[in-house]
Amino acid sequence: MLWDLIDIIRDNWLLLLIGQYPNGPLGGFAATLILSTLSIALAFPLSILIAFARLSKNPLLLWPSTVLVYVARGVPLLMLILWVYFMVPLLIGANVPGFVTMLVTLVIYEGAFLSEVVRGGIVALGRGQMETARALGHGYFGAMLYVILPQALYNVMPSILSQFVSAIKETTLGYVINVPELTFAANQINNQLLTQPFQVFFILAIIYFLVCWTLTRLALTLERRIARKRAGMPGIPLSLNPQSQTAEL
Amino acid sequence: MIKFSNVNKNYGEYRALVDINAEVARGEVVVICGPSGSGKSTLIRTVNRLEEIHSGTITFDGRSVHGKMKGSELNHLRSRVGFVFQSFNLFPHLSALENVTLSPVKVNGVKQEMAREKAMMLLDRVGLSSKAKAYPAQLSGGQQQRVAIARALAMEPPAMLFDEPTSALDPEMVGEVLAVMRNLAAEGMTMMCVTHEMGFAREVADRVWFMDAGHILETAEPGTFFSDPQHARAQRFLSDLRH
Ligand SMILES: Nc1ncnc2c1ncn2[C@@H]1O[C@H](COP(=O)(O)OP(=O)(O)O)[C@@H](O)[C@H]1O
Ligand SMILES: [Mg+2]
Protein backbone atom coordinates (compact mmCIF):
# COMPACT_ATOMS: atom_id res chain seq x y z
CA MET A 1 0.00 0.00 0.00
CA LEU A 2 2.63 2.53 1.11
CA TRP A 3 4.82 1.44 -1.81
CA ASP A 4 1.91 1.97 -4.16
CA LEU A 5 1.59 5.55 -2.93
CA ILE A 6 5.28 6.21 -3.30
CA ASP A 7 5.28 4.66 -6.77
CA ILE A 8 2.36 6.78 -7.89
CA ILE A 9 3.98 9.94 -6.57
CA ARG A 10 7.33 9.07 -8.08
CA ASP A 11 5.83 8.46 -11.52
CA ASN A 12 3.41 11.38 -11.52
CA TRP A 13 4.77 14.11 -9.29
CA LEU A 14 5.35 16.47 -12.15
CA LEU A 15 1.80 16.03 -13.42
CA LEU A 16 0.48 16.63 -9.91
CA LEU A 17 2.68 19.69 -9.54
CA ILE A 18 2.27 21.50 -12.87
CA GLY A 19 -0.11 19.39 -14.99
CA GLN A 20 0.94 18.86 -18.60
CA TYR A 21 2.91 22.07 -18.80
CA PRO A 22 4.83 22.92 -20.99
CA ASN A 23 3.15 20.54 -23.47
CA GLY A 24 -0.29 21.61 -22.33
CA PRO A 25 -1.75 24.29 -20.09
CA LEU A 26 -0.30 24.82 -16.65
CA GLY A 27 -2.24 22.58 -14.27
CA GLY A 28 -1.92 20.52 -11.12
CA PHE A 29 -1.07 22.00 -7.76
CA ALA A 30 0.44 25.09 -9.41
CA ALA A 31 -2.85 25.90 -11.11
CA THR A 32 -4.74 25.31 -7.88
CA LEU A 33 -2.47 27.72 -6.02
CA ILE A 34 -2.52 30.33 -8.77
CA LEU A 35 -6.29 30.10 -9.10
CA SER A 36 -6.95 30.42 -5.38
CA THR A 37 -4.33 33.13 -4.78
CA LEU A 38 -5.45 35.18 -7.74
CA SER A 39 -9.11 34.81 -6.80
CA ILE A 40 -8.51 36.04 -3.24
CA ALA A 41 -6.19 38.81 -4.43
CA LEU A 42 -8.88 40.11 -6.77
CA ALA A 43 -11.78 39.37 -4.44
CA PHE A 44 -10.19 41.34 -1.61
CA PRO A 45 -10.40 44.85 -3.15
CA LEU A 46 -13.81 43.92 -4.56
CA SER A 47 -14.97 42.91 -1.09
CA ILE A 48 -14.00 46.30 0.33
CA LEU A 49 -16.09 48.03 -2.32
CA ILE A 50 -19.04 45.72 -1.64
CA ALA A 51 -18.67 46.33 2.10
CA PHE A 52 -18.75 50.11 1.52
CA ALA A 53 -21.86 49.70 -0.61
CA ARG A 54 -23.48 47.56 2.09
CA LEU A 55 -22.71 50.20 4.70
CA SER A 56 -24.00 53.01 2.52
CA LYS A 57 -27.37 54.64 3.01
CA ASN A 58 -27.75 55.18 -0.74
CA PRO A 59 -30.31 52.60 -1.99
CA LEU A 60 -28.62 52.45 -5.39
CA LEU A 61 -25.52 51.07 -3.68
CA LEU A 62 -27.17 49.25 -0.82
CA TRP A 63 -29.66 47.17 -2.76
CA PRO A 64 -27.54 45.66 -5.53
CA SER A 65 -24.73 44.87 -3.12
CA THR A 66 -27.12 43.24 -0.66
CA VAL A 67 -28.68 41.14 -3.41
CA LEU A 68 -25.22 40.10 -4.61
CA VAL A 69 -24.17 39.01 -1.13
CA TYR A 70 -27.38 37.11 -0.47
CA VAL A 71 -27.32 35.35 -3.82
CA ALA A 72 -23.67 34.38 -3.48
CA ARG A 73 -24.26 33.05 0.00
CA GLY A 74 -27.54 31.35 -0.79
CA VAL A 75 -26.60 29.46 -3.94
CA PRO A 76 -24.20 26.48 -4.20
CA LEU A 77 -20.90 27.48 -5.75
CA LEU A 78 -21.23 24.73 -8.34
CA MET A 79 -24.39 26.38 -9.63
CA LEU A 80 -22.65 29.73 -9.95
CA ILE A 81 -19.85 28.06 -11.87
CA LEU A 82 -22.30 26.46 -14.30
CA TRP A 83 -24.11 29.75 -14.73
CA VAL A 84 -20.95 31.62 -15.59
CA TYR A 85 -19.79 28.71 -17.75
CA PHE A 86 -22.92 28.67 -19.90
CA MET A 87 -24.06 32.29 -19.72
CA VAL A 88 -20.88 34.31 -20.18
CA PRO A 89 -20.08 32.87 -23.67
CA LEU A 90 -23.67 33.63 -24.70
CA LEU A 91 -23.40 37.17 -23.40
CA ILE A 92 -20.05 38.06 -24.92
CA GLY A 93 -20.33 35.81 -27.94
CA ALA A 94 -16.97 34.14 -27.50
CA ASN A 95 -15.61 31.09 -25.79
CA VAL A 96 -14.02 31.65 -22.43
CA PRO A 97 -11.26 29.35 -21.15
CA GLY A 98 -12.27 27.25 -18.14
CA PHE A 99 -9.57 28.85 -16.03
CA VAL A 100 -11.02 32.31 -16.60
CA THR A 101 -14.56 31.12 -15.97
CA MET A 102 -13.46 29.60 -12.70
CA LEU A 103 -11.50 32.70 -11.73
CA VAL A 104 -14.41 35.06 -12.42
CA THR A 105 -16.81 32.89 -10.47
CA LEU A 106 -14.47 32.58 -7.52
CA VAL A 107 -13.79 36.32 -7.44
CA ILE A 108 -17.49 37.12 -7.26
CA TYR A 109 -18.18 34.37 -4.76
CA GLU A 110 -15.21 35.07 -2.50
CA GLY A 111 -15.78 38.81 -2.90
CA ALA A 112 -19.30 38.46 -1.53
CA PHE A 113 -18.14 36.33 1.40
CA LEU A 114 -15.15 38.53 2.21
CA SER A 115 -17.31 41.65 2.04
CA GLU A 116 -19.26 40.38 5.02
CA VAL A 117 -16.01 39.75 6.87
CA VAL A 118 -14.76 43.24 6.07
CA ARG A 119 -18.08 44.82 6.96
CA GLY A 120 -18.05 42.95 10.26
CA GLY A 121 -14.56 44.26 10.95
CA ILE A 122 -15.65 47.83 10.27
CA VAL A 123 -18.82 47.57 12.36
CA ALA A 124 -16.92 45.96 15.25
CA LEU A 125 -14.75 49.07 15.61
CA GLY A 126 -17.79 50.98 16.82
CA ARG A 127 -18.75 54.54 16.03
CA GLY A 128 -16.13 56.30 18.10
CA GLN A 129 -13.21 56.01 15.69
CA MET A 130 -15.18 57.24 12.69
CA GLU A 131 -16.71 60.04 14.73
CA THR A 132 -13.32 61.17 16.00
CA ALA A 133 -11.83 61.18 12.52
CA ARG A 134 -14.78 63.17 11.18
CA ALA A 135 -14.50 65.61 14.08
CA LEU A 136 -10.89 66.23 13.08
CA GLY A 137 -12.07 67.16 9.59
CA HIS A 138 -11.48 63.96 7.61
CA GLY A 139 -14.06 63.16 4.97
CA TYR A 140 -15.82 59.79 4.98
CA PHE A 141 -13.32 58.13 2.67
CA GLY A 142 -10.33 59.75 4.32
CA ALA A 143 -11.52 58.45 7.67
CA MET A 144 -12.03 54.99 6.17
CA LEU A 145 -8.62 54.99 4.51
CA TYR A 146 -6.47 56.28 7.35
CA VAL A 147 -8.39 55.28 10.47
CA ILE A 148 -11.01 52.57 9.96
CA LEU A 149 -9.64 50.20 7.32
CA PRO A 150 -6.13 49.84 8.76
CA GLN A 151 -7.67 48.63 11.99
CA ALA A 152 -10.58 46.66 10.55
CA LEU A 153 -8.53 44.81 7.93
CA TYR A 154 -5.81 44.03 10.43
CA ASN A 155 -8.38 42.56 12.79
CA VAL A 156 -9.98 40.37 10.13
CA MET A 157 -6.72 39.06 8.67
CA PRO A 158 -7.30 35.61 10.19
CA SER A 159 -10.72 35.42 8.56
CA ILE A 160 -9.25 36.45 5.24
CA LEU A 161 -6.66 33.72 5.56
CA SER A 162 -9.33 31.15 6.29
CA GLN A 163 -11.29 32.37 3.32
CA PHE A 164 -8.16 31.63 1.32
CA VAL A 165 -8.27 28.07 2.67
CA SER A 166 -11.87 27.80 1.47
CA ALA A 167 -10.84 29.11 -1.92
CA ILE A 168 -8.23 26.38 -2.25
CA LYS A 169 -10.84 23.76 -1.53
CA GLU A 170 -13.33 25.42 -3.86
CA THR A 171 -10.96 25.31 -6.82
CA THR A 172 -11.60 21.53 -6.94
CA LEU A 173 -14.99 22.35 -8.45
CA GLY A 174 -13.15 23.62 -11.51
CA TYR A 175 -12.95 19.93 -12.34
CA VAL A 176 -16.53 19.93 -13.65
CA ILE A 177 -15.69 22.49 -16.33
CA ASN A 178 -12.34 20.87 -17.15
CA VAL A 179 -10.05 23.37 -15.48
CA PRO A 180 -6.73 21.52 -15.31
CA GLU A 181 -6.05 21.94 -11.59
CA LEU A 182 -4.89 19.47 -8.97
CA THR A 183 -8.05 17.34 -8.79
CA PHE A 184 -8.13 17.21 -12.58
CA ALA A 185 -4.54 15.96 -12.61
CA ALA A 186 -5.32 13.31 -10.02
CA ASN A 187 -8.21 12.10 -12.10
CA GLN A 188 -5.96 11.87 -15.15
CA ILE A 189 -3.59 9.67 -13.18
CA ASN A 190 -6.46 7.55 -12.02
CA ASN A 191 -7.64 7.10 -15.58
CA GLN A 192 -4.18 5.88 -16.59
CA LEU A 193 -3.75 3.47 -13.71
CA LEU A 194 -7.37 2.30 -13.64
CA THR A 195 -6.86 -0.03 -10.68
CA GLN A 196 -5.77 2.21 -7.84
CA PRO A 197 -8.45 4.88 -7.28
CA PHE A 198 -8.15 4.67 -3.51
CA GLN A 199 -4.41 5.32 -3.54
CA VAL A 200 -4.65 8.15 -6.05
CA PHE A 201 -7.40 10.02 -4.27
CA PHE A 202 -5.76 9.37 -0.92
CA ILE A 203 -2.70 11.24 -2.19
CA LEU A 204 -4.97 14.00 -3.42
CA ALA A 205 -6.65 14.29 -0.04
CA ILE A 206 -3.30 14.36 1.77
CA ILE A 207 -2.04 17.22 -0.39
CA TYR A 208 -5.15 19.33 0.16
CA PHE A 209 -5.14 18.53 3.84
CA LEU A 210 -1.50 19.47 4.38
CA VAL A 211 -1.83 22.78 2.61
CA CYS A 212 -5.12 23.75 4.21
CA TRP A 213 -4.14 22.54 7.65
CA THR A 214 -0.91 24.55 7.54
CA LEU A 215 -2.77 27.67 6.51
CA THR A 216 -5.42 27.16 9.16
CA ARG A 217 -2.74 26.81 11.83
CA LEU A 218 -1.24 30.02 10.52
CA ALA A 219 -4.60 31.75 10.75
CA LEU A 220 -5.06 30.58 14.33
CA THR A 221 -1.60 31.77 15.32
CA LEU A 222 -2.29 35.09 13.70
CA GLU A 223 -5.64 35.35 15.44
CA ARG A 224 -4.07 34.70 18.84
CA ARG A 225 -1.40 37.27 18.21
CA ILE A 226 -3.99 39.85 17.21
CA ALA A 227 -6.17 39.02 20.22
CA ARG A 228 -3.16 39.50 22.48
CA LYS A 229 -2.34 42.80 20.88
CA ARG A 230 -5.95 43.91 20.98
CA ALA A 231 -6.22 43.11 24.66
CA GLY A 232 -3.96 46.06 25.32
CA MET A 233 -5.91 48.40 23.03
CA PRO A 234 -8.86 50.12 24.64
CA GLY A 235 -9.88 51.58 21.28
CA ILE A 236 -10.97 48.21 20.00
CA PRO A 237 -13.84 46.58 21.83
CA LEU A 238 -13.00 43.12 23.11
CA SER A 239 -16.52 42.00 23.80
CA LEU A 240 -17.67 42.20 20.20
CA ASN A 241 -15.54 39.33 19.17
CA PRO A 242 -15.72 36.58 21.75
CA GLN A 243 -15.61 33.71 19.29
CA SER A 244 -12.87 32.47 17.13
CA GLN A 245 -13.06 33.95 13.66
CA THR A 246 -11.27 30.98 12.22
CA ALA A 247 -13.16 27.77 11.73
CA GLU A 248 -11.20 24.68 12.61
CA LEU A 249 -10.69 22.44 9.60
CA MET B 1 -17.68 83.05 18.74
CA ILE B 2 -20.25 80.26 19.29
CA LYS B 3 -23.87 81.28 19.28
CA PHE B 4 -27.00 79.19 19.77
CA SER B 5 -30.30 80.75 18.69
CA ASN B 6 -33.59 78.97 19.40
CA VAL B 7 -31.98 75.56 18.97
CA ASN B 8 -34.20 72.51 19.30
CA LYS B 9 -33.32 68.87 18.87
CA ASN B 10 -35.50 65.80 19.32
CA TYR B 11 -34.85 62.11 19.48
CA GLY B 12 -38.21 60.93 18.20
CA GLU B 13 -40.69 62.29 20.71
CA TYR B 14 -38.03 63.08 23.24
CA ARG B 15 -36.88 66.71 23.34
CA ALA B 16 -33.13 66.55 23.92
CA LEU B 17 -32.53 70.30 23.45
CA VAL B 18 -35.28 72.84 24.08
CA ASP B 19 -35.07 76.46 22.90
CA ILE B 20 -31.39 76.90 23.53
CA ASN B 21 -30.26 80.52 23.38
CA ALA B 22 -26.73 81.13 24.53
CA GLU B 23 -23.42 82.51 23.42
CA VAL B 24 -19.76 81.84 24.06
CA ALA B 25 -17.56 84.88 23.53
CA ARG B 26 -14.07 84.67 22.05
CA GLY B 27 -11.59 83.66 24.73
CA GLU B 28 -14.34 82.69 27.12
CA VAL B 29 -14.31 79.44 29.09
CA VAL B 30 -17.76 77.98 29.67
CA VAL B 31 -18.33 75.00 31.92
CA ILE B 32 -21.53 73.09 31.27
CA CYS B 33 -22.91 71.02 34.10
CA GLY B 34 -26.13 69.28 34.94
CA PRO B 35 -27.51 65.86 35.77
CA SER B 36 -26.81 62.87 33.56
CA GLY B 37 -29.10 62.79 30.51
CA SER B 38 -29.79 66.52 30.63
CA GLY B 39 -28.42 67.09 27.11
CA LYS B 40 -24.88 68.35 27.75
CA SER B 41 -23.19 66.03 25.27
CA THR B 42 -25.91 66.61 22.72
CA LEU B 43 -25.43 70.36 23.07
CA ILE B 44 -21.71 70.45 22.43
CA ARG B 45 -21.93 67.80 19.71
CA THR B 46 -24.22 70.11 17.73
CA VAL B 47 -21.44 72.69 17.55
CA ASN B 48 -19.37 70.63 15.10
CA ARG B 49 -22.45 68.93 13.73
CA LEU B 50 -21.79 65.49 15.10
CA GLU B 51 -25.50 65.83 15.91
CA GLU B 52 -28.05 67.47 13.65
CA ILE B 53 -30.59 69.95 15.02
CA HIS B 54 -34.24 70.30 14.09
CA SER B 55 -34.68 74.04 14.31
CA GLY B 56 -32.76 77.17 15.20
CA THR B 57 -29.26 78.18 14.20
CA ILE B 58 -25.78 77.71 15.55
CA THR B 59 -22.99 79.95 14.34
CA PHE B 60 -19.33 79.21 14.85
CA ASP B 61 -16.90 82.05 14.20
CA GLY B 62 -19.58 83.83 12.17
CA ARG B 63 -20.53 80.81 10.04
CA SER B 64 -23.78 78.92 10.30
CA VAL B 65 -22.95 75.33 11.20
CA HIS B 66 -26.21 73.64 10.25
CA GLY B 67 -26.92 75.48 7.02
CA LYS B 68 -26.81 73.80 3.64
CA MET B 69 -23.21 73.19 2.68
CA LYS B 70 -21.01 70.86 0.70
CA GLY B 71 -19.36 67.93 2.44
CA SER B 72 -15.96 69.52 2.01
CA GLU B 73 -17.15 72.72 3.69
CA LEU B 74 -18.45 70.77 6.64
CA ASN B 75 -15.13 68.93 6.89
CA HIS B 76 -13.31 72.23 6.88
CA LEU B 77 -15.61 73.64 9.53
CA ARG B 78 -15.12 70.57 11.73
CA SER B 79 -11.37 70.79 11.36
CA ARG B 80 -11.61 74.18 13.07
CA VAL B 81 -13.45 72.90 16.13
CA GLY B 82 -11.27 70.92 18.53
CA PHE B 83 -13.24 68.12 20.14
CA VAL B 84 -12.10 65.98 23.06
CA PHE B 85 -14.11 62.87 23.88
CA GLN B 86 -14.71 61.25 27.22
CA SER B 87 -13.26 57.98 25.91
CA PHE B 88 -10.14 59.62 24.34
CA ASN B 89 -10.62 57.74 21.05
CA LEU B 90 -6.97 57.76 20.09
CA PHE B 91 -6.30 55.82 16.91
CA PRO B 92 -4.86 52.60 18.35
CA HIS B 93 -2.91 51.65 15.22
CA LEU B 94 -0.90 54.88 15.29
CA SER B 95 1.77 56.07 17.70
CA ALA B 96 1.13 59.15 19.83
CA LEU B 97 3.10 61.26 17.37
CA GLU B 98 1.25 59.83 14.36
CA ASN B 99 -2.07 60.44 16.10
CA VAL B 100 -1.13 64.10 16.30
CA THR B 101 0.29 64.48 12.77
CA LEU B 102 -2.32 62.47 10.83
CA SER B 103 -4.98 65.13 10.41
CA PRO B 104 -2.76 68.17 9.77
CA VAL B 105 -1.07 66.16 7.00
CA LYS B 106 -4.09 64.45 5.46
CA VAL B 107 -6.73 67.13 6.02
CA ASN B 108 -4.78 70.39 5.84
CA GLY B 109 -1.97 69.23 3.59
CA VAL B 110 0.76 70.28 6.01
CA LYS B 111 4.19 68.88 5.10
CA GLN B 112 5.08 65.77 7.12
CA GLU B 113 8.25 67.39 8.45
CA MET B 114 6.48 70.49 9.69
CA ALA B 115 3.62 68.48 11.14
CA ARG B 116 6.14 66.42 13.10
CA GLU B 117 7.88 69.44 14.48
CA LYS B 118 4.59 70.99 15.50
CA ALA B 119 3.38 67.70 17.00
CA MET B 120 6.53 67.36 19.09
CA MET B 121 5.95 70.87 20.38
CA LEU B 122 2.37 70.03 21.29
CA LEU B 123 3.30 66.76 22.93
CA ASP B 124 5.88 68.67 24.91
CA ARG B 125 3.21 71.13 25.92
CA VAL B 126 1.03 68.34 27.34
CA GLY B 127 4.11 66.84 29.00
CA LEU B 128 4.44 63.79 26.78
CA SER B 129 7.32 64.41 24.40
CA SER B 130 9.02 61.31 25.81
CA LYS B 131 6.02 59.19 24.75
CA ALA B 132 5.93 60.29 21.10
CA LYS B 133 6.72 56.79 19.83
CA ALA B 134 4.39 54.97 22.25
CA TYR B 135 1.15 53.42 21.03
CA PRO B 136 -2.10 54.25 22.81
CA ALA B 137 -2.24 50.79 24.39
CA GLN B 138 1.04 51.60 26.14
CA LEU B 139 -0.25 54.82 27.67
CA SER B 140 -2.29 55.42 30.78
CA GLY B 141 -5.74 56.97 30.50
CA GLY B 142 -4.49 60.38 31.54
CA GLN B 143 -1.67 60.22 29.02
CA GLN B 144 -4.05 59.14 26.27
CA GLN B 145 -6.36 62.04 26.99
CA ARG B 146 -3.46 64.47 26.91
CA VAL B 147 -2.39 63.09 23.52
CA ALA B 148 -6.00 63.48 22.39
CA ILE B 149 -5.88 67.14 23.40
CA ALA B 150 -2.60 67.61 21.54
CA ARG B 151 -4.16 65.91 18.51
CA ALA B 152 -7.08 68.35 18.56
CA LEU B 153 -4.75 71.33 19.03
CA ALA B 154 -2.66 70.28 16.04
CA MET B 155 -5.47 71.50 13.78
CA GLU B 156 -5.04 74.95 15.32
CA PRO B 157 -8.73 75.30 16.18
CA PRO B 158 -9.98 78.68 17.39
CA ALA B 159 -12.13 76.88 19.97
CA MET B 160 -12.04 73.61 21.90
CA LEU B 161 -14.94 71.47 23.10
CA PHE B 162 -14.53 68.94 25.90
CA ASP B 163 -17.12 66.26 26.68
CA GLU B 164 -16.40 65.05 30.22
CA PRO B 165 -12.68 64.69 29.46
CA THR B 166 -11.83 63.34 32.91
CA SER B 167 -14.85 61.15 33.66
CA ALA B 168 -13.27 57.96 32.34
CA LEU B 169 -10.05 58.50 34.31
CA ASP B 170 -8.82 57.06 37.56
CA PRO B 171 -8.87 59.83 40.16
CA GLU B 172 -5.09 60.14 40.31
CA MET B 173 -4.97 61.04 36.60
CA VAL B 174 -7.65 63.71 36.61
CA GLY B 175 -5.26 66.41 37.74
CA GLU B 176 -2.80 66.07 34.86
CA VAL B 177 -5.56 66.51 32.28
CA LEU B 178 -7.14 69.44 34.10
CA ALA B 179 -3.72 71.07 34.30
CA VAL B 180 -3.41 70.95 30.52
CA MET B 181 -6.88 72.45 30.15
CA ARG B 182 -6.06 75.14 32.69
CA ASN B 183 -3.01 76.15 30.65
CA LEU B 184 -5.10 76.30 27.51
CA ALA B 185 -7.60 78.55 29.21
CA ALA B 186 -4.80 80.79 30.47
CA GLU B 187 -3.52 81.13 26.91
CA GLY B 188 -6.89 82.54 25.91
CA MET B 189 -8.45 79.53 24.17
CA THR B 190 -12.22 79.66 23.73
CA MET B 191 -13.52 76.57 25.51
CA MET B 192 -16.76 74.74 26.19
CA CYS B 193 -16.25 72.05 28.81
CA VAL B 194 -18.81 69.57 29.99
CA THR B 195 -17.41 68.52 33.34
CA HIS B 196 -18.34 67.74 36.90
CA GLU B 197 -15.00 68.98 38.20
CA MET B 198 -16.39 71.85 40.20
CA GLY B 199 -12.98 72.92 41.45
CA PHE B 200 -11.94 73.42 37.85
CA ALA B 201 -15.17 75.29 37.09
CA ARG B 202 -14.75 77.61 40.04
CA GLU B 203 -11.17 78.40 39.18
CA VAL B 204 -11.11 78.49 35.37
CA ALA B 205 -14.63 79.09 34.05
CA ASP B 206 -15.86 82.54 33.08
CA ARG B 207 -19.41 81.25 33.11
CA VAL B 208 -21.24 78.12 34.16
CA TRP B 209 -24.23 76.86 32.20
CA PHE B 210 -26.54 74.59 34.15
CA MET B 211 -28.61 72.21 32.05
CA ASP B 212 -31.61 70.14 32.97
CA ALA B 213 -33.97 68.14 30.73
CA GLY B 214 -32.76 69.81 27.55
CA HIS B 215 -32.98 73.38 28.88
CA ILE B 216 -30.21 75.73 29.89
CA LEU B 217 -31.76 76.71 33.20
CA GLU B 218 -29.09 79.00 34.45
CA THR B 219 -25.99 80.79 33.19
CA ALA B 220 -23.93 82.59 35.77
CA GLU B 221 -20.42 83.38 36.85
CA PRO B 222 -19.04 80.48 38.85
CA GLY B 223 -18.90 82.49 42.08
CA THR B 224 -22.57 83.34 41.85
CA PHE B 225 -23.60 79.91 40.60
CA PHE B 226 -21.92 78.00 43.38
CA SER B 227 -22.84 80.32 46.23
CA ASP B 228 -26.31 81.31 45.11
CA PRO B 229 -27.92 79.03 42.51
CA GLN B 230 -31.31 80.33 41.43
CA HIS B 231 -33.15 77.20 40.40
CA ALA B 232 -34.26 74.49 42.76
CA ARG B 233 -32.86 71.92 40.29
CA ALA B 234 -29.46 73.58 40.37
CA GLN B 235 -29.51 73.74 44.16
CA ARG B 236 -30.31 70.05 44.33
CA PHE B 237 -27.64 69.20 41.74
CA LEU B 238 -24.98 71.07 43.69
CA SER B 239 -25.94 69.55 47.01
CA ASP B 240 -25.94 66.07 45.43
CA LEU B 241 -22.48 66.77 44.05
CA ARG B 242 -21.15 67.73 47.45
CA HIS B 243 -22.23 64.44 49.00
N1 LIG C 1 -28.94 58.63 19.75
C2 LIG C 1 -29.90 58.84 20.68
N3 LIG C 1 -31.14 58.36 20.50
C4 LIG C 1 -32.11 58.57 21.40
N5 LIG C 1 -31.94 59.27 22.54
C6 LIG C 1 -30.74 59.79 22.78
C7 LIG C 1 -29.64 59.60 21.87
N8 LIG C 1 -28.56 60.23 22.37
C9 LIG C 1 -28.94 60.78 23.55
N10 LIG C 1 -30.25 60.51 23.79
C11 LIG C 1 -31.01 60.99 24.94
O12 LIG C 1 -30.92 62.38 25.00
C13 LIG C 1 -30.76 62.80 26.34
C14 LIG C 1 -29.54 63.67 26.48
O15 LIG C 1 -28.40 62.89 26.30
P16 LIG C 1 -26.92 63.46 26.52
O17 LIG C 1 -26.79 64.70 25.73
O18 LIG C 1 -25.98 62.37 26.22
O19 LIG C 1 -26.93 63.80 28.07
P20 LIG C 1 -25.70 64.16 29.02
O21 LIG C 1 -24.49 64.29 28.20
O22 LIG C 1 -26.12 65.42 29.68
O23 LIG C 1 -25.62 63.05 30.01
C24 LIG C 1 -30.71 61.56 27.20
O25 LIG C 1 -31.97 61.35 27.79
C26 LIG C 1 -30.42 60.46 26.22
O27 LIG C 1 -31.06 59.26 26.64
MG1 LIG D 1 -22.69 63.15 28.21
Measured distance between the N- and C-terminal CA atoms of chain B, rounded to whole angstroms: 36
Q: Please classify residue A101 by burial: count the beta carbons closer than 10 Å to its beta carbon, then call 0-12 exposed, 13-18 middle and 19+ buried.
A: buried
pLDDT band at A239 (very low <50, low <70, confident <90, very high): very low
Which is more confidently placed, A244 or B43?
B43
Centre of ligand 1 from the C-alpha of residue B42, in Å: 6
DSSP chain A: -HHHHHHHHHHHHHHHHHBTTTTS-B-HHHHHHHHHHHHHHHHHHHHHHHHHHHH-S-HHHHHHHHHHHHHHHHS-HHHHHHHHHHHHHHHHSS---HHHHHHHHHHHHHHHHHHHHHHHHHHHT-HHHHHHHHHTT--HHHHIIIIIHHHHHHHTHHHHHHHHHHHHHHGGGGGGGT--SHHHHHHHHHHHH-S-HHHHHHHHHHHHHHHHHHHHHHHHHHHHHHHHHHHT-TTS-STT--S-SSPP-
Q: State whether residue B182 is helix, strand or coil.
A: helix
- What pLDDT score was predicted for residue A232? 61
* pLDDT tens per residue, range A161-208: 999 999 999 999 999 999 999 999 999 999 999 999 999 999 999 999
- Closest Cα to atom 27 of ligand 1: B37
- For each of chain B's 243 residues, which pLDDT tens digit applies? 999 999 999 999 999 999 999 999 999 999 999 999 999 999 999 999 999 999 999 999 999 999 999 999 999 999 999 999 999 999 999 999 999 999 999 999 999 999 999 999 999 999 999 999 999 999 999 999 999 999 999 999 999 999 999 999 999 999 999 999 999 999 999 999 999 999 999 999 999 999 999 999 999 999 999 999 999 999 999 999 887
Compute the distance between CA of residue B140 and CA of residue B133 in angstroms, rounded to an integer. 14
The distance of B199 to chain A (nearest Cα, Å) reads 28
* Residue B184 CA from chain centroid, whole number: 12
- Closest Cα to atom 24 of ligand 1: B37
Q: Is the pLDDT of residue A243 over 60?
A: no
- What pLDDT score was predicted for residue A246? 47
- What pLDDT score was predicted for residue B157? 97
Which is more confidently placed, A206 or A237?
A206
The distance of B104 to chain A (nearest Cα, Å) reads 9
Atom of ligand 1 nearest to the CA of B34: 22
Check CB contact under 8 Å for A139 and B72.
yes
CATH among 3.90.550.10, 1.10.443.10, 1.10.3720.10, 1.10.10.10 for A2-14+26-245: 1.10.3720.10
* pLDDT tens per residue, range A58-99: 999 999 999 999 999 999 999 999 999 999 899 989 888 999
Domain residue limits, chain A: 2-14+26-245
* pLDDT tens per residue, range A109-168: 999 999 999 999 999 999 999 999 999 999 999 999 999 999 999 999 999 999 999 999
- What pLDDT score was predicted for residue B224? 95
Check CB contact under 8 Å for A147 and B81.
no
| Amino acid, single-letter form, for residue A207 | I
Going by DSSP bridges, is the β-strand pair B55-60/B2-11 parallel, antiparallel, or unpaired? antiparallel
- What pLDDT score was predicted for residue A230? 66
Atom of ligand 1 nearest to the CA of B194: 21
Ligand showing the shortest atom-to-Cα distance for residue B18: 1
